[in-house]
Amino acid sequence: MNFQKLAVVALAFLFPAFVQAAVNPAVTVREDDSSFILDNGIVTAHIGKRSGDLISLKYKNLEMLDGGTRSPGYWSHNAARGKQLDRITIDPKTNGGERGEVSVKGISDSKQMGGGPGGSVVADIEIRYALGRGDSGVYTYSIFSHPTNYPATSIGEARFCLKLNDGLFDWMTVDANRNMEMITTYDWNHGTQMNGKEMRRMNSGIYKGEVEHKYDYSANQFDVRAWGWSSSARHVGLWLVNPSVEYLSGGPTKFELSSHRDATFNTNAFNSPAPPTLLNYWRGSHYGGSICNIAATDAWTKVVGPFLIYCNSANGGSATGNHDAMWGDALAQADKESAAWPFNWVRGVDYPHKSERTTVTGKIILDDPQSPHLKMKNLLVGLTAPDYAPAIVPRPPRAGRGGGGGGFGLAGGGDDEAAMTNQNNFTTGGTNEMLTFTNSSRRFSGSSTNGIGRSGANRARGGGGNGGMPRIVDWQNDAKNYEFWVRANDDGSFEIPNVRAGNYSLHAIADGVLGDLTVTNIVVAAGKDLSLANVDWRPVRFGKQLWDIGIPNRTGAEFFKGDQYFHWGWYLQYPKLFPYDVKYVVGQSDFRKNWFFEQVPYNDNSNNVTGSGKGSATTWTVTFNLTEAPHGKATLRLAICGVGTRSLMADMNDKSIGNVTNLNYNATINRDGIGGYWAEHDLFFDASLMKRGENVLGLTVPGGGLMNGIIYDYLRLELDETAAPPK
């Protein structure tokens, strides 16, 4: 090794920043009257000063974005309508070319801001882009600010969107199931529209005969942190990378759109542009939606991001190998971004740095006497804002490209029973003794036509539909606040890093455990770690378990075809797969084979290939045997994660035990999903309706549109012979 090489090695060890500067060019920021240009020799980004849109992104001298779109990269709520303030917030001339950042801000002054997809909002909106030395991509983030002198407002559907170079990108990657060459613009434009404007059967191309539906590529945002498109010909990729999910809505069970080919809706336009599209939703209206209502009295701000628009490349080889290599690199980059969160270069906004955040630790102890050996799987633990009633906000007029103000009129829970609260107040700096709390969340009683099945203890909560009353906002549909979730260890121990100071509720959900744990009044102070020690979780039981079907895991994935849910038209296949409906026998049937993942109306028209029209009612039966005639109170517990119907009727041995009528539509079936807003619906009934020997439970979805059905998460029948029968 010669002297020069030794010197480089020594410098790399002693002064890594010096070597980084020597290898990678400095960041520069240029500007003119209409735009900023960020450049570091790897990527070049052009940002429009009026709106904050990303106009161009070049990597390896290739334009990555759609040149035919006026705003190929945009936030759905932009800064265009307010008083403009654009500036360089980090000048690379002052830091040796290490980093540059630009800002475009619109001051609302109590007027509606934005007008793009998602509608408008009364709030100041600042959009920033940042680029560091050696970065293979540009960061973006958006800051919303609502002072108390602004009127009440709401934020509709909200996301960042990229339209990519159609001549470059042909391969899309969401996860292991959606890692594939995609249809072309020609294929989309010449497809046949089905039962929705975003659904077309392909008449050409590699997927000829199959239906393309943008919702088939929705993803769980907690698990999918890097997703994007890559090029078979040029071996380059473009990815969105979320370093954190704290700024997203809906917690670890939220599915949202991720990527697809742009769904042009004009069926007569055979030459319409339909470029590859990437989306990062922070307030999504799909699969149950989320709420971000701001009261006039709220001094509210939210920082969405920063997240990375990442560019990479592969070195040749097989096409599939190149795509997988670029995806693997994007996943590795996502790990690096998460490890670096929160970024120390973010300044001047409500974004606490590492020293101002807190690590919260503890251990969940499951205490279920009926299942003493049950092991929690996929345990998710989170800190979220306490449940709250959203502000009542007048719905603004629809405007702009996509319109719709959103607000509280979204699908979601119904009226849940009053939540029990733990009055222990946790503060930072100490260790707490064993905590005890029972699962009580999102549980609904069923209404009944025969006087059986109504629980006086269950009170209004959730909802969104009845009489225009707003629902309670919980962690599943909150977009106003931040959420902090982790996947815990197998022994129940957890460590939640980088928590902002505030008052939180602790939640835990796990595969195999019905319901969730909620502990309120968790007080987190800035920069002071908090240990909750052991937290005892006693799942709710209404009596002895007689049988169950499925796995409580917030989705219907374990049921038949649930692992292939992301294909259009399963409701057309149901009559072919179950011509006599589902007839499940406890002790003999296997829910993985004998329980379809969605109960939908029966398509009586075998010639129906579009999915439109209506079907007849379907009744699924559960047959089970009892050794003795029971008495007391029985409880049918229905955990439901997909709703497309207004009611679900239940009977025991041909006698009604009640109707579940407080269902709230979440479009999970319509959008080819497997899990939307989750709620438990309980039917209490006189156990004497059952008998010794064979019993048959019937569950009936009424006739209607073919997507007007139910996706069950889990079903359980419990018996309490010491309790009086419900009246």
Question: Which of 252-266, 328-342, 343-357, 651-665 is the least confident region?
Answer: 252-266
Residues 154 and 266 sit within 8 Å (Cβ to Cβ): no
Instruction: Identify the domain boundary among 280, 310, 340.
Output: 340
Q: What is the mean pLDDT of residues 665-692?
A: 97
Last residue of a domain, one of 488, 505, 538: 538
Do 481 and 587 belong to one domain? no
Q: Is the peptide bond prior to 306 cis by the omega test (within 30 degrees of 0)?
A: yes
For residue 445, the model assigns a pLDDT of: 58
pLDDT at 727: 86
Residue 671 pLDDT > 70: yes
Chain position carrying tokens 């009977």: 651
Q: Reply yes or no on whether the pLDDT at 417 is more than 70.
A: no
Last residue of a domain, one of 340, 369, 399: 340
> What does the alpha-carbon distance between residue 687 and residue 653 come to, in Å, rounded to a whole number?
11
670-683 average pLDDT score: 97
Tell me, what's the pLDDT at 370? 95
* Spatial CB neighbours of 16, under 8 Å, sequence gap ≥ 6: none
**CATH number of the structural domain spanning residue 650:** 2.60.120.260
pLDDT tens sequence across 4-28: 555 544 544 555 555 556 689 999 9
Tens digits of residue pLDDT in 313-349: 998 667 678 999 999 999 999 999 999 999 999 999 9
With respect to residue 252, please indicate whether it lies within any of the assigned structural domains.
yes
Number of domains comprising the chain: 3
Q: Do residue 183 and residue 305 come from a single domain?
A: yes
pLDDT at 422: 29
Q: Is the pLDDT of residue 202 over 80?
A: yes
Return the structure tokens found at 6.
Answer: 């030794």
Q: Residue 428 CA to chain centroid, in angstroms?
A: 30
Using pLDDT thresholds of 50, 70 and 90, give the confidence band for residue 418.
Answer: very low
pLDDT band for position 272 (50/70/90)? confident
Mean pLDDT across the chain: 88
Residues 671 and 694 occupy one common structural domain = yes
pLDDT tens digits, 556-580: 999 999 999 999 999 999 999 999 9
Residue 54 lies in a domain: yes
Residues 283 and 373 in one domain: no
pLDDT at position 167: 96
- Highest averaged pLDDT of the listed ranges 112-121, 437-446, 522-531: 522-531
Write b or e for each residue in 339-363: b if 16 or more Cβ atoms lie within 10 A of its Cβ, otherwise e.
eebbbebbeeeebbeeeebbebebb
Q: What is the pLDDT of residue 140?
A: 98
Q: What are the tens digits of pLDDT across the range 77-98?
A: 998 888 999 999 999 999 999 9
Closest alpha carbon to 127 in 149, 142, 109, 144:
142
Residues 99 and 248 in one domain: yes
Phi, then psi, of 536 in degrees rounded to 5:
-85, 130
Check residue 271 and give its pLDDT: 76
- For 402, what's the count of Cα atoms within 13 Å in the CB-facing half-sphere? 19
Same domain for 646 and 531: no
Mean pLDDT of 426-430: 37
Q: 157 with 270, same domain?
A: yes
Shared domain for 84 and 145, answered yes or no, is yes
pLDDT class for 303, splitting at 50, 70, 90? very high
In a domain, 148, yes or no: yes
- Can you tell me which residue has the tokens 């942190």? 225
Q: What is the distance between the alpha carbons of residues 273 and 185, in angstroms, rounded to a whole number?
A: 7
Out of 21-35, 179-193, 677-691, least confident range: 21-35
What pLDDT is stored for residue 432 in this prediction? 35
- What is the mean pLDDT of the segment spanning 495-509? 98
Give me 501's structure tokens. Answer: 């100071």
Sheet holding 137-146, edge to edge: 83-90, 99-107, 124-132, 137-146, 300-313, 236-241, 226-230, 171-175, 178-181
The per-residue pLDDT for 69 is 79
pLDDT tens digits for 351-383? 999 999 999 999 999 999 999 999 999 999 999
Quick one: 85 and 40 in the same domain? yes
Whole-number pLDDT of residue 454: 26
Phi-psi region of 492 (alpha: psi -120 to 50; beta: other; left: phi over 0): left
Of residues 249 and 440, more confidence is placed in 249
Question: Residue 342, preceding bond cis, omega within 30 degrees?
Answer: yes
d(CA 375, CA 168): 48
**pLDDT for position 446:** 54
The reported pLDDT for the residue numbered 317 is 67
The fraction of the chain above a pLDDT of 70, given in percent, is 85
pLDDT of residue 443: 62
Q: What is the pLDDT of residue 132?
A: 98
CATH code for the domain of 120 = 2.70.98.10
Return the pLDDT at 471: 77
Residue 17's φ and ψ, nearest 5 degrees, are -65, -35
Angle at 694 between CA 690 and CA 696, to 5 degrees: 65
- Report the alpha-carbon distance of residue 205 to residue 191 in Å, rounded: 10
Same domain, 500 and 606: no
Q: Is residue 408 part of a domain?
A: no
Strand 300-313 relative to strand 137-146, pairing: antiparallel
Give the per-residue pLDDT at 316: 67
Domain encompassing residue 431: 354-388+415-461+473-538
Residues 663-691, mean pLDDT to the nearest whole number: 97
Predicted local distance difference test score (pLDDT) of residue 438: 39
Report the sign of the C-alpha dihedral through residues 21, 24, 26, 29, in that order: negative
pLDDT on residue 395: 65
Residue 726 lies in a domain: no
Instruction: Supply the pLDDT for residue 427.
Output: 36
* Residue 609 pLDDT greater than 60, yes or no: yes
Q: What is the pTM of this model?
A: 0.90
Angle at 289 between CA 288 and CA 295, to 5 degrees: 135
**pLDDT(121) > 60:** yes
User: Both 646 and 533 in a single domain?
Assistant: no
Q: What is the pLDDT of residue 465?
A: 35
Q: Give pLDDT, residue 21.
A: 61
394 within domain boundaries = no
Are 685 and 567 in the same domain? yes
